[in-house]
């Protein structure tokens, strides 16, 4: 896989890094999502420094990921329960 240099914009600053061809689109999309979240946090907390905005965004993303994992676990359990009910167990 070839690596390309990509540039992401977060809170008005450019960050450069390498990404493989198959990761490029999703990483740029993730960066756009992160920038949107960081801009929202900064708008609501105008005195926060960029590093604190980044930490808050990271915590929000981590929290959302944990909620999604729990929801996925709940769905898996429901699916297993339904399968068992269908099979008469």
pLDDT digits (tens, 9 = 90+) for 21-74: 999 999 999 999 999 999 999 999 999 999 999 999 999 999 999 999 999 999
Tokens 């359990």, residue located: 77
Residue 21: domain span: 3-87
Q: What is the DSSP letter of 55?
A: H
Q: What is the mean pLDDT of residues 79-85?
A: 94
The crossing angle, in degrees rounded to 10, of helices 50-87 and 21-44 is: 120
CA atoms of 80 and 89, how far apart (whole Å): 11
Angle at CA of residue 59, ends 56 and 60, nearest 5°: 85
Q: How many domains would you assign to the chain?
A: 1
Give the pLDDT confidence score for residue 88 in this predicted structure: 86
What sign has the CA pseudo-torsion 32, 36, 68, 86? negative
The percentage of residues in the chain with a pLDDT greater than 90, rounded to a whole number, is 94
Which domain CATH number covers 49?
3.30.160.880
The reported pTM is 0.80
């Amino acid at each position: 896989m070839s690596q390309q240099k990509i540039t992401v914009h977060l809170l008005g600053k450019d960050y450069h890094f390498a990404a493989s061809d198959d990761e490029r689109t999703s990483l740029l999309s993730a960066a756009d999502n992160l920038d949107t979240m960081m801009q929202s946090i900064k708008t609501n907390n105008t005195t926060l420094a960029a590093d604190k905005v980044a930490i808050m965004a990271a915590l929000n993303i981590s929290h959302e990921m944990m909620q999604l994992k729990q929801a996925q676990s709940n769905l898996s359990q429901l699916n297993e329960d339904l399968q068992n009910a269908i099979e008469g167990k």
